[in-house]
């Protein structure tokens, strides 16, 4: 009996050791946390990137941000392999020096600071390498398309000076991309829409597939001041001739396309440091008929943004808030929606949380100062960079949509 008890105790001890070993193995740094096509991201890489982002001051959900960036970088490297682009050792070393210089440090000092936080130098090198490869890929694919004509530059200067401004007459289509399936479908539809060559066909398509408030009206918008739109979108629109359609623009849970119907220069001074005040309301449930109806009726139930607090008594600051923000610091999708509104009007085109929550915006007011003339070379460089960045974002969205991204 005693021998049997000793045997049981020994068996339990061995089992405990085995379970502990299994638990340790389950958290191995070499575990795959995500597979991107034929590449993998390990737990160690994810933990290292999270530490790196924290050193850089990244706020919010650092784990999600780290995983998103690592995913994109896998796609950067894959695109580089496709086009025969590699980062040389010399380029990587120079990139590390330039990046460290942003913090007024030598590369060795920056690496030492990272080491003190538990960050391996290879993490820094991989980050720099992916950026170099992507820059080369984007430059090769879209560098020529970033050229700015003198007429486009003149128009941009009129926008950014007190000599006058630009207004545009647009039609829009917003395609839902709140799930992987919808994102793939939206990308395919967007490619078909970009082949459209006339306004009538675009309007019919908007009425059929767009989830924007303007959909029933064929996607047609009223005249918009270009200065009310986000800076990355302005150069895209400035290069469109009437009838032409923009590259797909990624916004949260959706893809946006514009068709230019008309563009005009105005004599009215163009504002600088435009700031906007707007109300943001979250309605759980997403784009349900009830939520959309509720959003549409808000402009009749609330004369001002402050009236919303009376309509939604007890709402938390996260659910309902009034925000004052500089125009240029607005998220692109928010700036686009607010540009369509007059004070007291409401947008219900955006969603968050994978389409599970409707993001309702009401414009309270706009304020602005006037700007002086800008240097011609600086404006040209800004337009080129913004245009190429726009093409790069669209290309990355295509790579993401076509990639096989799986958790183990």
- Tell me how far CA of residue 291 lies from CA of 169, 176, 337, 357, in angstroms: 29, 16, 18, 9
d(CA 213, CA 206): 10
Cβ-proximal residues to 163 (8 Å cutoff; 6+ apart), any chain: 157, 269, 373
State the sign of the Cα–Cα–Cα–Cα dihedral 238, 233, 257, 325: negative
Q: What is the CA radius of gyration of the chain?
A: 26
Within-domain flag for 307: yes
Contact 70, 55 (CB under 8 A): no
State the pLDDT at residue 146. 76
pLDDT at residue 368, rounded to an integer: 59
CA distance 206 to 215: 5
Of 270, 305, 331, the residue at which a domain comes to its end is: 270
Which residues are paired to 272 by β-bridges? 369
Residue 394 maps to a domain: no
Query: Which parts of 245-319 are beta strand (E)?
Result: 249-251, 254-266, 271-284
Q: What CATH number is associated with residue 156?
A: 3.10.50.40
- Cα(38)–Cα(398) distance, integer angstroms: 17
- β-bridge mates for residue 164, sequence order: 161
Q: Is residue 377 situated within a structural domain?
A: no
> Is 98 in the same domain as 168?
no
Whether residues 131 and 234 share a domain: the answer is no
Residue 178 burial by CB count (10 A; 0-12/13-18/19+): exposed, middle or buried?
Answer: buried
Please tell me whether residues 266 and 276 are part of one structural domain. no
CATH number at residue 311: 3.10.50
Give the pLDDT confidence score for residue 128 in this predicted structure: 95
Shared-domain flag, residues 138 and 69 = yes
H runs (alpha helix) in 143-279: 150-159, 180-193, 199-209, 234-238
| Domain annotation covers residue 353 | yes
> Measured between alpha carbons, how far is 131 from 125 in angstroms, rounded to an integer?
10
- Whether residues 279 and 365 share a domain: the answer is yes
Has this prediction a pTM greater than 0.75? no
Domain membership flag for residue 406: no
Question: In the prediction, which pLDDT does 143 show?
Answer: 85
Residue 125, domain CATH: 1.10.4030.10
- Cβ-in-10-Å burial (0-12, 13-18, 19+) of 150 comes to exposed
In a domain, 164, yes or no: yes
State residue 159's pLDDT score: 54
pLDDT at 155: 64
- How many structural domains does the chain have? 3
> Per-block average pLDDT, block size 10, for the chain (408 residues)?
46 42 58 93 95 82 90 95 94 93 87 93 95 94 79 62 70 92 90 91 96 94 87 81 89 91 73 76 93 91 90 90 85 91 92 90 77 62 80 89 89
Residues 229 and 330 in one domain: no
Reading the block at residue 272, the tokens are 């600088």
Does residue 133 lie within any of the structural domains? yes
* Domain coverage including residue 53: 32-142
Looking at residue 236, its pLDDT comes to: 82
Phi-psi sector, 67: left (phi>0), alpha (psi -120 to 50), beta = alpha
- What is the reported pLDDT for 156? 64
Single out the residue in 270, 285, 310 at which a domain terminates. 270
Closest-CA residue to 219 (of 181, 178, 262, 169):
169
pLDDT at 252: 84
């Amino acid at each position: 009996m005693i021998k049997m008890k000793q045997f049981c105790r020994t068996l339990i001890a061995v089992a405990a050791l085995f379970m502990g070993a299994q638990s340790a193995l389950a958290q191995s740094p070499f575990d795959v946390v995500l597979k991107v096509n034929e590449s993998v991201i390990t737990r160690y890489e994810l933990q290292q990137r999270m530490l790196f982002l924290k050193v850089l001051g990244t706020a919010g959900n650092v784990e999600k941000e780290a995983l998103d960036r690592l995913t994109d970088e896998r796609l950067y490297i894959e695109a580089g392999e496709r086009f025969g682009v590699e980062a040389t050792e010399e380029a990587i070393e120079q990139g590390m020096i330039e990046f460290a210089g942003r913090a007024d440090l030598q590369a060795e000092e920056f690496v030492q600071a990272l080491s003190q936080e538990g960050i391996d130098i290879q993490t820094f090198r991989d980050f720099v390498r992916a950026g170099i490869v992507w820059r080369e890929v984007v430059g090769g694919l879209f560098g020529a398309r970033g050229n700015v004509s003198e007429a486009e530059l003149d128009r941009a200067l009129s926008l950014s000076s007190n000599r006058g401004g630009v207004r545009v007459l647009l039609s829009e289509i917003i395609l839902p991309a709140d799930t992987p399936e919808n994102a793939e479908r939206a990308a395919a539809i967007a490619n078909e829409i970009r082949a459209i060559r006339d306004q009538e066909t675009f309007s019919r398509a908007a009425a059929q597939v767009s989830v924007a408030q303007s959909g029933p009206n064929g996607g047609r918008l009223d005249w918009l001041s270009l200065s009310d739109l986000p800076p990355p979108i302005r150069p895209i629109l400035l290069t469109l001739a009437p009838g032409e359609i923009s590259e797909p623009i990624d916004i949260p849970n959706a893809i946006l396309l514009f068709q230019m119907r008309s563009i005009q220069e105005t004599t009215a001074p163009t504002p600088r440091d435009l700031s906007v005040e707007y109300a943001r309301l979250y309605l759980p449930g997403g784009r349900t008929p009830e939520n959309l109806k509720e959003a549409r009726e808000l402009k009749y139930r609330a004369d001002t943004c402050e009236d919303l607090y009376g309509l939604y008594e007890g709402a938390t600051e996260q659910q309902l808030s009034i925000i004052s923000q500089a125009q240029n610091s607005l998220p692109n999708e928010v700036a686009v929606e607010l540009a369509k509104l007059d004070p007291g009007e409401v947008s219900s085109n955006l969603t968050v949380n994978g389409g599970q929550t409707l993001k309702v915006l009401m414009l309270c007011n706009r304020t602005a100062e006037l700007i002086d003339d800008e240097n011609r070379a600086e404006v040209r460089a800004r337009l080129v960079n913004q245009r190429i960045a726009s093409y790069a974002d669209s290309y990355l969205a295509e790579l993401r949509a076509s990639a096989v991204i799986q958790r183990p």
